[in-house]
Amino acid sequence: MAITPSNSVARALVWFRRDLRVSDHPALARALREAGSVWCVFILDREILAGLPARDRRVAFIRASLADLDDQVAALAGRPGRHLIVRHAAAEDEIPRLAAELDVQAVYFHRDDDPAARARDARVYERLRADGRAMHGFKDHVLFERREILTGAGTPYGVFTPYKNAWLKALHARPELLGDCGSDIDGSALAEAPRGPWQAGAAVPALAEFGFETDPDGTPADAGLRPGTTGGEALLDEFVDRLDDYDDARDFPARPGPSHLGVHLRFGTLSLRRLVRLASQRVVGGSRGAQTWLSELVWRDFYHQVLFHHPHVVHQAYRADCNDLRWEQGPQADALFAAWCAGRTGYPLVDAGMRQLNASGYMHNRLRMVTASFLTKDLGLSWQRGEAYFARQLNDYELASNNGGWQWAASTGCDAQPWFRIFNPVTQSERFDPQGAFIRRWVPELAALQGKAIHAPWTARPGELEAAGVVLERDYPRPVVDHDLARARTLERFGARGSGAPTGVVAA
């Protein structure tokens, strides 16, 4: 049965942000239910875009996803015409201005708990309120937000497993949370958009029209990066066939284990509820892969609530006793950082991960852990430097998960890796890329190396490097640090922080 508008609001504006789809879209569904005329807008926010390089994969992804969204909105409206409004402006000025131009009574949107987004939304709210307009926020980006999952004492969880158990229990108690709120909406209230400033009257501008460049070949660098709901659906279709194997395959970067759906969750081109529903159904059917994948989605909610309750993590360690850690600084540290960024540390698995990131904007989760551990515990550099680099490079960059992941690896975070647990980049390589297939793909200068030397070329037996045509320092660097010495320094660094000695020092 189609839900028809109740017309309790004559005119409404739906503000799309990180939710670039029309299906299962709570804010759009509610606006269409309540209003007689509904406009849809996306703001290419000058304040955010100004800080990005002229060629940015995520901006290209957003632009292409907007074109996809425009098609979806038109299909929902059920008639041709211009329906999506796209503006290049400061969102906090443009939303109140557009709301006044269209004379809407209310703006509908999905909440975003990144501290900067919350502050911006509060300012928009005040300006709309001053004009006599309402702003209605809905949950979409996570399954449980803010104070929905608390301990029995009413405090936020600081440990993942009990949080996950509480999360699963809450979902079990409220299965309706996974209901699709968009399959039966009537889009006839979608109104014709005012003419925009873009060439040929297009709804969505070309990249150049708002100051960005296309990729040299016009396509995103990563074959897995397919924009829009259309792209997300195609990726999901492929992934569901492998979901049951996720548990076995996910840790091996040379295997097609993970879903690559992070970027679609980041920009909301797929609905999180839909993915949780899919995983939950498979869990009921006994799939171990689905169970582990669902856990990963719970980690995502976990880090979002950490950020909400502890916004200090944006600039500081979650654990106050880690703020005085003495990370390496100065020209030598800068040179090591540059080698790490470029994928030239001399540790092949670390370099392969960094080169995958630089070339595609994606990095496999195992390698995010290995490279982050290497930066903080082998190079002794602050997690903030790595966090900022990932933030610039990752297609699926999310403040909450990136910060959580970095603080986990650096042992400064919430339910983090214990500080005395230090990944050995060579044994990680032997374990998770046993044949060196991933290394050979991303570090081609080592491709001809045989056997174990692929994991640690400086340990090659006489003749092995020559046979592979590799000269260390000429073709590939020697290790920039000695892992055993670096490990000892890290244990000292954390020990000096005065949080007590470990009961047992563990190698990973």
Ligand X SMILES: Cc1cc2nc3c(=O)[nH]c(=O)nc-3n(C[C@H](O)[C@H](O)[C@H](O)COP(=O)(O)OP(=O)(O)OC[C@H]3O[C@@H](n4cnc5c(N)ncnc54)[C@H](O)[C@@H]3O)c2cc1C
Interface residue list for ligand X (CB under 6 A) = 250, 258-262, 265, 296-297, 299-300, 303, 365, 368-369, 372, 390, 394, 396-398, 401-402, 404-406, 409
Report the length, in residues, of the chain. 508
* CB of 33 or CB of 366, closer to ligand X: 366
Q: How far is CA 216 from CA 301, 395, 442, in A?
A: 36, 18, 20
Catalytic residue among 327, 328, 358, 445: 327
Task: CB nearer to ligand X: give 109 or 390.
Answer: 390
**Residues contacting residue 108 through CB under 8 Å, at least 6 positions apart:** 12, 13, 14, 15, 27, 28, 30, 31, 136, 138
Instruction: State CA 498 to chain mean position distance.
Output: 34
Tell me if residue 383 is catalytic. Answer: yes
Pairing between β-strand 35-45 and β-strand 84-89 as defined by DSSP bridges: parallel
* CB of 250 or CB of 385, closer to ligand X: 250
Q: Which residue has the tokens 């610039």?
A: 392
Give me the catalytic one of 296, 328, 430, 445.
296
Cross-strand bridge partners of residue 403: none
Q: Which of 406, 408, 419, 442 is catalytic?
A: 406
Q: Pick the catalytic residue from 299, 358, 430, 445.
A: 299
- With 0-12 / 13-18 / 19 or more C-beta atoms within 10 angstroms meaning exposed / middle / buried, residue 20 is buried
- Other CB atoms within 10 A of residue 461 CB: 10
Q: Minimum distance between the CB of residue 159 and ligand X, rounded to whole angstroms?
A: 15
**Quick one: 300 or 309, whose CB is closer to ligand X?**
300
**Distance in angstroms (rounded) separating the CA atoms of residues 411 and 377:** 10
Q: For the chain, how long is the longest CA-to-CA vector?
A: 81
* Contact indicator for 310, 276 with CB cutoff of 8 Å: no
Q: Which of residues 99 and 372 has its CB atom nearest to ligand X in the complex?
A: 372
Q: For 246-283, b where at least 16 C-beta lie within 10 A, e where not — what string?
A: bbeebebbbbebbbbbbbbbbbbbbbbbbbbbbbbebb
CA–CA separation, 357 and 217 (whole Å): 19
Min dist CB 106 to ligand X, Å, is 31
- Shortest Å distance, C-beta 395 to ligand X: 9
**Sheet of 134-138, strand order:** 84-89, 35-45, 9-16, 106-110, 134-138
Q: Pseudo-torsion of CA 143, 149, 155, 160, nearest 10°?
A: -80
**Closer of 384 and 402 to ligand X (Cβ):** 402
| Minimum CB distance to ligand X, residue 335 (Å) | 22
The closest residue (CB) to ligand X is: 405
Active-site residue, from 39, 383, 408, 442: 383
**Least spacing, CB of residue 228 vs ligand X, in Å:** 16
- Min CB(374)–ligand X separation in Å: 11
327 is catalytic: yes
- Closest approach, Cβ 355 to ligand X, in A, equals 16
Selecting among 209, 358, 365, 430, the annotated active-site residue is 365
> Which residue, 260, 314, 297, 299, is CA-closest to 113?
314
| 365 catalytically annotated | yes
As annotated, the active-site residues are 296, 299, 327, 365, 383, 406
